[in-house]
Amino acid sequence: MKLVSLILLLCQLTLGAHQARAGIRHTYLTWQADPSSSISINVQTLHQPGQPPPQITVVYDTVLAAAPSAYRWASAATNVDPIDALPGRTVHSVVLHDLLPGQRYHYRVLSSQDAASRVYHFRTIHDEPKPLRFIAGGDMGIDENAQRLQAVAAAQNPQFALIGGDLAYANGDWSQTRVWDRWFDIWDSLMVTPSGNQIPIVAAIGNHEVRGGYAGNVQDAGPYLRFLPQSPTPYYERSIGPHMGLIVLDSGHLTPHAGVQTDWLRRALEGHSDRPLCLVAYHVPLFPGFRLPSGAMPSAGREFWQPLFEQYNITAALEHHDHIFKRTVLIRGDEETEDGILYLGDGAFGRPTKPVEGPRQVHLGRRWYLHKLESRGHFWRVDVDAAGASATFTALDEEGIEFDQVTRLAR
Ligand SMILES: [Fe+2]
């Protein structure tokens, strides 16, 4: 009799868990506003095609409440985006504002057609002098290499993850949404800090987010743009704590380097010029570790962006796309100089790495700008000290081995 009761109980729990998952498919964090006082909780739901999507509400608090009704604050979805290409799927964004800086929050997602979610946690970025840590990498995919690196990355207790393009490898194709589903499932299970906080995603667009890779329009990047709401444009900037500016660029996927984006970049760099540290991140490298630097996108980056990086003396540029580990010398113009800019890359956060040596790579030895090059999966851990006096970049591999480190002082 006891066994039967146990089986029934397990059935009920399993059914309950299934019902709880049936409507809410993914829950993950981005930012659309100030990371110290806001968060964007993105909830993807599945429902019967032709029927209205469920209504989504987030209840949240700085203390853990026993029941959804005991949370002190609630916010309905601020943007509801039904995906016509995926009948029955909707992206709900709940942007919470007026949050306390450096504060841990607990939240649950309530759906009009579903059970309440489990309890999630996140932490806002501080706005006073305190150490800041985040991780940066790109070119992920969904295989075991990516998962091993994500486990190491989450263990670093980062306050957010900067992904420099080529996340799921679904190529802007709605018919490959299953790949995005797997990517979000892996993120949900692995990208949680040791203390249980979800890690917000700060993403740049890469060629594998876009049908055709380059020179696309917004329809060509539908899944990326609508699953990861961050900004009206694929290039944007954030202030991260009191000391650091972060500028995210589109290396020719939807927006050309020249023209509007370069004009915007100048204004963004000017806007962050009173901050001691400023990082710029984008997908295609200006100084690639593997592909030829004479390519159209690296050349455009060096023509239109590099002079501005140097004029405003950015702390470092985070580059991706080439699936290799790279650290450049300090670069100004086409020379190595003591007061030059550091470029770190090149996007090997899961994808198989490119070889350093071989018949096709004979040209690599002639690249004056490479200080280090290694065929090694990795991500960068970035540590900003409390005073904002320096940023230290540490490369870690899938074993958690710290195999390179470089520090840049405030400008
Ligand atoms: Fe790429």
Q: Is there a single domain that holds both residue 113 and residue 249?
A: no
Q: Is residue 10 part of a domain?
A: no
90 and 152 in a single domain? The answer is no
Query: For residue 213, how far is its CA from the centre of ligand 1 (angstroms)?
Result: 8
**Could you read off the pLDDT of 261-274 as tens digits, one per residue?**
999 999 999 999 99
Final residue before a domain boundary, out of 123, 154, 177: 123
Helix-, strand-, coil-residue percentages of the chain, each rounded to 5: 25, 30, 45
Residue 9 Cα, ligand 1 centroid: separation in angstroms? Answer: 48
205 Cα: distance to centroid of ligand 1 (angstroms): 9
Residue 153's nearest CA partner among 173, 135, 131, 178 is 135
Centroid of ligand 1 to alpha carbon of 101 (angstroms) = 34
The alpha carbon of 169 and the centre of ligand 1 are apart by a number of angstroms equal to 9
- Write out pLDDT tens, residues 93-108: 999 999 999 999 999 9
Lowest model confidence (mean pLDDT) among 29-38, 158-167, 198-207, 354-363: 354-363
* CA nearest to 279, candidates 383, 209, 173, 174: 383
Spatial CB neighbours of 324, under 8 Å, sequence gap ≥ 6: 289, 290, 345, 346, 347, 348, 353, 354, 356, 373, 374, 375, 376
Amino acid at 240: I
Distance 145 CA to ligand 1 centre (A): 17
Ligand 1 centroid distance, CA of 208 (Å): 6
pLDDT at residue 362 in the model: 52
212 and 302 both lie in a single domain? yes
Number of domains forming the structure of the chain: 2
- Ligand 1 center to 287 CA (angstroms): 14
Say yes or no: 348 and 280 in one domain. yes
What is the distance in A from the centroid of ligand 1 to the CA of 48? 35
| CA–centroid distance, residue 140 to ligand 1 (Å) | 10
Cα 303 to ligand 1 centroid, rounded to whole Å? 20
Q: pLDDT by residue (tens digit) across 331-343? A: 999 999 999 999 9
pLDDT, residue 163, reads 98
Mean per-residue pLDDT over the chain, rounded: 93
C-alpha 393/C-alpha 175 separation (Å) is 38
Upper half-sphere CA count for residue 64 (Cβ side, 13 Å): 7
Residue 12 banded pLDDT, cuts 50, 70, 90:
very low
Dig out the tokens for 281 from the structure: 């991140």
Peptide bond just before 173 cis, omega within 30 deg: no
Q: pLDDT grade, residue 114 (50/70/90)?
A: confident
CATH of the domain at 366: 3.60.21.10
At 359, the pLDDT band (50, 70, 90 cuts) reads: low
16, part of any domain = no
Q: How far is the CA of 62 from the centre of ligand 1 (A)?
A: 39
* Whether residue 65 sits in one domain with residue 167: no
Ligand 1 center from residue 312 Cα (angstroms):
27
13, part of any domain: no
Cα of 184 from ligand 1 centre, angstroms: 19
- Residue 51: HSE in the Cβ half-sphere, 13 Å Cα cutoff: 10
pLDDT in tens, 166-222: 999 999 999 999 999 999 999 999 999 999 999 999 999 999 999 999 999 999 999
* Residue 357 confidence (pLDDT): 75
Residues 103 and 145 in one domain: no
Please tell me the distance between residue 251's alpha carbon and the centre of ligand 1 in angstroms.
10
Q: Please say if the pLDDT value at position 363 is more than 70.
A: no
55 pLDDT band (50/70/90 cuts)?
Answer: very high
The tokens of 397 are what? 């591999």
Are 63 and 197 part of one and the same domain? no
Rounded to the nearest angstrom, the distance between the alpha carbon of 167 and the centre of ligand 1 is: 9
Same domain, 183 and 290: yes
CA of 164 to the centre of ligand 1 (A): 9
Judge whether 92 and 79 are in contact, CB under 8 Å.
yes
Per-residue pLDDT at 16: 38
Measure 349 CA to ligand 1 centroid, in angstroms. 12
**Residue 206 CA, ligand 1 centroid: distance in Å:** 5
Among the candidates 67, 97, 123, a domain finishes at 123
Residues 379-398: tens digit of each pLDDT: 999 999 999 999 999 999 99
More confident: 132 or 21 = 132
Q: In terms of domains, do 232 and 374 share one?
A: yes
- Choice among 6-10, 203-207, 295-299 with the minimum mean pLDDT: 6-10
Within a domain: residue 175?
yes
Measure the CA–CA gap between 249 and 262, rounded to whole angstroms.
9
Assess if residue 268 is contained within a domain: yes
At residue 115, the 3 state secondary structure works out as coil
Residue 233 in tokens:
């444009």
The Å distance, Cα 93 to ligand 1 centre, comes to 27
Q: Do the domain assignments include residue 3?
A: no
∠ CA 178-182-188 to the nearest 5 degrees? 140
Q: 300 with 361, same domain?
A: yes
Quick check: is 177 in a domain?
yes
> Look-up: residue for tokens 């499932």?
185
Q: Is 209 part of any domain? A: yes
- d(CA 72, ligand 1 centre) in Å: 44
Whole-number Å distance, alpha carbon 137 to ligand 1 midpoint, is: 12
CATH number, position 79:
2.60.40.380
Cα 389 to chain centroid distance, Å, stands at 25
Amino acid 364: pLDDT: 54
Q: Are residues 265 and 358 in the same domain?
A: yes
Domain residues for 113? 22-123
Pairing between strand 104-111 and 56-61? Answer: antiparallel
pLDDT at 155 over 60: yes
Residue 139's pLDDT band (cuts 50, 70, 90): very high
> Quick one: 188 and 311 in the same domain?
yes
Distance (angstroms) between ligand 1 centre and the Cα of 36 equals 30
- Pairwise CA distance, residues 20 & 14, whole Å: 10
